[in-house]
Amino acid sequence: VQFPGRVISNVDFYNKFNTGKYGNSYDSIWPHGWQNKLDNVLQKNSGPYGVKGKIVKAYYYASKMKEDHPEDDTPCKFFYYWVGNFVSHEPDTTELSNVLKKVYGALTDTPYKNKCSVIYPDNDIWGKFDRMKELHNFSYDYGTIRSTVEKCNPEDYSKYLAYLHGIASSCKLVGTDCSEGQERSPHCGDFNKKYKDYCENEQPKLISLLSKCSPPKPKPNPNPNQAGSSGSFSDADVSGECELDDLPSKEAYRKFDEGEEGAVHGTTECTVGTVKAKLDTALKSYPNIKNNAENIAKAWCKIINGAQDQGGRGKKVDGPPYYLFHYWLGEKAWDSVDGNNPFKEIIGNIYLALGDGFNNIIRDRLCEDIDKVPFTQLKRVFEYSVDYSTIEACIEKFQTCGFNCTEMYSEYLNAAVSAHDGIREYCTQGKNFKNICCTHLQRMFDQSGGSNIPEPSELKSQLESLQKATVPEKETISSTTTSNTPAVASSTIALIGIPALGFYLYKVITTMRTQCKI
């Protein structure tokens, strides 16, 4: 995750490293031709080799800053994380440490006493490289981020909240293996000494500050059946936010189907007309999906134009919108599948057309080589991973307030549990577990990877417990009131009158709505 605003880590380091421009005061410190020292040592490392001149300047700059403050490794860590952007992030690799050793060795004659030498062992940090980088940036930028959050506007709330949730996820992932006293790993030592306090204290403070600029929740639309008109109350009055059509996944699909175009800030990477023209050509053989070419182009451009800058490595698209687009598109692609047009070929041709011209955009691999049943199961499970927090929050809210919206979600969760069981079984068969589709499934619920999503069966159990607790309560109320309800009701009406009773009920419902924030 990257903070969606101006931060000093970019000003002090990343922008300088990426551009090679450090200002007039540094023009004299670059030895002429020193980038040639990296020619031989980096020839087999295409990423770093392409920016060898910038690497030399960045190394000199960081080393000079460290000489001024020998006890502070901060500049060298920025150099470390910046170089890591140009190195393959495949697991079980030693490329980053090898590259850094080559750079440090080739530039050993650097005229500074306290040269940069930061290297985390690859087998120690590699799966957590991006997360550690995020925490390092967060700790350095904290003052700027706090100042920005304190002045935030309601329209900025969601993007700042997403960033802070991302930081919490990074804290959880890195901190899981870094218990106090287990600091044999260098990155754990840094986490406990430098970043843990930001995770446990400062990040929650920012969440609290951010709540002050949370946009107000819209008031419910007036219902013509509310008290004051006929005195009756429909079930919709107490349904609140518990509407299946309002779940995040369904809302995203609805926007894709309606051809909604996203607002673009800054440079437009993707234009709908250009993408549609390429799709029209690619989809000639698939008339069932060709009719959706314009909406596909609009949805794709919304995804591409929202790509996040990767600090020197281009831009990247990932996250729920990207995957929801894939499952939405995949469902449409299956409509064109027949004996001559397998799904893998159709979806592959579509992405070939969509990706044309966006070589600078990094995209996660998607689930394409799969049969229809497991694809549909994986689609439903991913939708659950996007929707679960909304369902969980609604269940908890109505449990507290005494309302029961559990039946509304029973069918949804039953389907999610069935789909999860099915795709999990599929991923245990043969070589399927190596399929990228099964890798996606594993990531959804991998707590060691920072996920806090409960499996569908867990939320279903919570739902069933609430249902069981509700039934006896209803039966008790019914058995204790049936015999004398008419007398009580008639005597009450006689005492206060029908209009007053209607007003009384209106006040009760209004109070309940206020307390439950429905």
Residue 96, C-beta contacts closer than 8 angstroms, at least 6 positions apart: 83, 84, 87, 122, 126, 129
Report the C-alpha gap between 302 and 270 in whole angstroms.
8
Report the C-alpha gap between 8 and 139 in whole angstroms.
11
Highest mean pLDDT among 149-158, 264-273, 499-508 belongs to 149-158
* pLDDT of amino acid 498: 39
Window from 60-69, 84-93, 496-505 with minimum mean pLDDT = 496-505
Window from 232-236, 305-309, 349-353, 407-411 with minimum mean pLDDT = 232-236
Residue 422's nearest CA partner among 436, 437, 400 is 437
Residue 176's nearest CA partner among 187, 164, 161, 165 is 187
Residue 362 contacts residue 314 (beta carbons within 8 Å): yes
Mean pLDDT over 271-285 rounds to 91
Mean pLDDT over 411-440 rounds to 86
Q: What is the residue type of 228?
A: G
Place of tokens 């990477």: 269
> At CA 96, angle to CA 111 and CA 87, rounded to 5?
110
Residue 432, C-beta contacts closer than 8 angstroms, at least 6 positions apart: 426, 438
Residue 369's nearest CA partner among 295, 303, 434 is 434
DSSP 8-state class, residue 261 = P
Q: What digits encode the pLDDT tens for the residues 361-413?
A: 888 889 888 888 999 999 999 999 999 888 887 776 655 444 446 667 888 89
Q: What is the residue type of 365?
A: R
Residue 400's nearest CA partner among 267, 206, 240 is 240
Window from 66-75, 195-204, 290-299 with minimum mean pLDDT = 66-75
Residue 289 contacts residue 299 (beta carbons within 8 Å): no
* Bridge partners, 341 (sequence order): 338
Report the C-alpha gap between 348 and 224 in whole angstroms.
51
Q: What's the token pair of residue 135? A: 């925490």
* pLDDT of amino acid 391: 84
Angle between helices 436-444 and 372-401 (to 10 degrees): 10
Mean pLDDT over 328-339 rounds to 86
* Bridge partners, 430 (sequence order): none
Q: What digits encode the pLDDT tens for the residues 89-148?
A: 554 456 777 888 888 888 877 677 778 887 777 555 656 778 889 999 999 999 999 999
Question: At residue 467, does pLDDT exceed 70?
Answer: no
Report the C-alpha gap between 420 and 379 in whole angstroms.
10
* pLDDT of amino acid 235: 33
Q: What's the token pair of residue 302? A: 């919304």
Q: DSSP string covering 189-227, please?
A: HHIIIIIHHIIIIIHHHHHHHHGGGPPPPPPPPP-TTST
Confidence of residue 327 (pLDDT cuts 50, 70, 90): very high
Alpha carbon separation from 74 to 10, 13, 117, 267 (Å, rounded)? 13, 10, 12, 32
Q: Are strands 361-363 and 315-317 parallel, antiparallel or unpaired?
A: parallel
Residue 380 contacts residue 500 (beta carbons within 8 Å): no
DSSP 8-state class, residue 341 = B
Report the C-alpha gap between 148 and 210 in whole angstroms.
10
Residue 286 vs residue 446, higher pLDDT: 286
Residue 295 contacts residue 256 (beta carbons within 8 Å): yes
pTM over 0.75: no
| CA gyration radius, the chain | 29
Window from 4-18, 40-54, 130-144, 463-477 with minimum mean pLDDT = 463-477
Question: At residue 34, does pLDDT exceed 80?
Answer: no
DSSP 8-state class, residue 363 = E
Window from 149-153, 254-258, 360-364 with minimum mean pLDDT = 360-364
- Helix or strand or coil: residue 148? helix
Mean pLDDT over 16-35 rounds to 71
Question: At residue 487, does pLDDT exceed 50?
Answer: no
Residue 187's nearest CA partner among 114, 133, 137, 142 is 133
Residue 79 contacts residue 59 (beta carbons within 8 Å): yes
Instruction: Return the beta strands (E) in 277-426 as ranges.
Output: 308-309, 315-317, 361-363
